[in-house]
Structure 1
Amino acid sequence: MHVIFGGAFNGKRAYVEQLVLEREAQWLDATEEFPALFPKTEVVIIFGVENVLEDKLNMLLEHFEKWDKKFEVIVIATEIGRGIVPMGASMRKLRDDVGRFYQQLFTRAERVTRIWYGISQTIKGR
């Protein structure tokens, strides 16, 4: 599994589009229901994980790990917070839930790449 992360509108999608150029790829929104069967494609790209409710995050990890055995899985993760603590309790909970999920996701990923204003930096892997 390869996780691409960075701030909103920092070039993550453009980076992934170049990464999978001329390969068959399926884009899946993490906030929608995943198909029960394996997608029929070379690469599965999942985006929107930061918008998934806490109770569904573990299910996402299970899907990612199961799919990673069959084809390349790329997860696009938007960084939320950058160390800034939100004023509202619900936003603090969201930031904390997503942060804990990202820790698990990044630990399980073979590769992690940060995109910052269009520039890529390998954090983990080759």
Structure 2
Amino acid sequence: MQLFIGGACAGKRDAVTSRFPSASWHRLEAGQRLINSQQALAANTPLVITGVLEWLGAALERDDNDALRQQWQRDMATLCQRADKLNAALIIIATEVGRGIVPMQPEQRRLRDLNGWFAQDATTQASHVWYVRHGLVMAVK
């Protein structure tokens, strides 16, 4: 798996498109588990997963951060294994939101926490991590 992370409009999509021109794209659906993305996997075809921040926003209704995190960790591991079996590169595009002003609303602070944990977990699973800023792509892992 590869993770492309950076701020909004930083050039993540362009970077992924240039590296994986034949990829299929899948946007995470609110309320669905990450593992449901495996339906979009196809043999020998890269799969790009987008919409992480909005997907996490829909998860704010759930109270247990630890259970939520454990679920997506399991789902991510299973998804990576399935992609490997199909020889399909798996790419996740995530938005980095931790460098701004801390919001006053508790749910917005929690969203940033969830996003940070997701990025940490994706980084752990990823073989390559790319940070994108102003269209510049830097290998982090």
Mapped partners of 2:80, 2:94: distance in 1 = 16
Change (3 A) 1:63 1:80: farther
Deviation, 1:101, is 1.3
Greater Cα shift, 30-39 or 72-81:
30-39
Deviation, 1:63, is 5.0
Mapped partners of 1:95, 1:52: distance in 2 = 12
Equivalent residue number for residue 116 of structure 2: 99
Mapped partners of 1:35, 1:122: distance in 2 = 25
Mapped partners of 1:119, 1:107: distance in 2 = 23
What TM-score, normalized to structure 1? 0.83
What TM-score, normalized to structure 2? 0.75
Deviation, 1:8, is 0.4
Equivalent residue number for residue 52 of structure 1: 55
Change (3 A) 1:39 1:96: same
- Name stretches of at least 5 consecutive residues in structure 2 with no aligned partner: 60-67
Change (3 A) 1:44 1:90: same
- Aligned length in residues: 122
1 or 2, which has the higher helix percentage? 2
- Name stretches of at least 5 consecutive residues in structure 1 with no aligned partner: none
Amino acid at match of 1:78: T
Change (3 A) 1:95 1:39: same
